[in-house]
Amino acid sequence: MQDAIRVLAGECAVRYEAGGETERTLRGDVVVLVKPDDTVLVHDSDGYQPAAWLTRPGVVRYTRDARGFRLDAADGDERLVVESATEHGDAHYPASPAGPPVGTCGCEGTLVRDGGRVVCVDCRAQYAIPRDAAVVGETCEDCGLPLLRVERGVEVTACLDRDCEPIADAVRGAVGDWTCRCGGGLSVEADRGLHAACEDCGARHRLPRGTAADDSDCDCGFPAFDTRDGPRCLDADCARAPQSL
């Protein structure tokens, strides 16, 4: 069941192996959580940390017999086996990313911020966004989704849905024409972050967190930017950014 946490409970024998040797054997009433990415967490009655776990194993197998369940998870030379002597329960529960609410989806579900994406907790629609983007309280006039504010080369506001209003287009329209050292034009792209890419030589430079300086370029010819740490060049490897802008 996709996007669900499986919960197994019972009086169980738990065995963790590494390198073919048993490192830990446990016995008791436990609750086993299997997350959507197959991470296995075994919880007992003590503390907040799992008594045993295996993160994102490559293989997870379930078998059942008259006594209950057996879970066998393996990842490389690590193995976690949980076998119930008495089963108390076996169920699936819906699960989604959890984060600060930032708006309402078109399905009327709640949108939450989860790092570099915004996810609907109801329909699971998700939108990739720059990690430094701010989700503002305004909504898009065309689709009703929240707007983003991004400060990369220039401060712009664009729709959360790139198919509605691409961030790259908004930045491109605001910054005007930039020129590469080779003489080719620099175009703004939004592939895994905002970059200035040369149409001729293929050079790519990540846009810094700041705004393009007014009427001032770096000594190397690239655009210069005002950032929180001071002036810098579009080329992060260039040490010739102007000392004052």
Give me the DSSP letters along 142-193. TT-PEEEEEEEESEEEEESSTTTS-HHHHHHHHH--EE-TTSPEEEEE-SSS
Whole-angstrom CA distances from 72 to 8, 18, 32 are 13, 14, 12
CA–CA gap between residue 125 and residue 139 (Å, rounded): 17
Query: Which residue, chain included where needed, has tokens 């930039």?
Result: 178
Is domain 4-94 annotated with CATH 2.30.29? Answer: yes
Between 140 and 40, the higher pLDDT residue:
40
Span 84-91, mean pLDDT? 94
Between 181 and 50, the higher pLDDT residue:
50
Instruction: Residue 113: count other Cβ atoms within 10 Å of its Cβ.
Output: 19
Q: Supply the pLDDT for residue 237.
A: 79
Span 82-109, mean pLDDT? 92
Give 239's contacts (C-beta < 8 A, 6+ positions apart): none
HEC secondary structure over 74-134: EECCEEEEEEEEEEEEEEEEECCCCCCEEEECCCCCEEEEECCEEEECCCCCEEECCCCCE
* β-strands 59-65, 110-114 pairing: unpaired
Chain centre to alpha carbon of residue 160 = 15
Name the average pLDDT for the chain: 84
Most trustworthy range by pLDDT among 85-99, 121-135, 148-162: 85-99
Return the domain boundaries, the chain: 4-94, 101-165, 173-233
Tokens (6 digits) for 62: 């379930």
CA–CA gap between residue 87 and residue 66 (Å, rounded): 10
Amino acid at 163: D
Give 215's contacts (C-beta < 8 A, 6+ positions apart): none
CA–CA gap between residue 105 and residue 13 (Å, rounded): 44
Tokens (6 digits) for 120: 């609907």
Chain centre to alpha carbon of residue 236 = 24
Residue 101 confidence (pLDDT) above 90: yes
Q: What is the pTM of this model?
A: 0.64
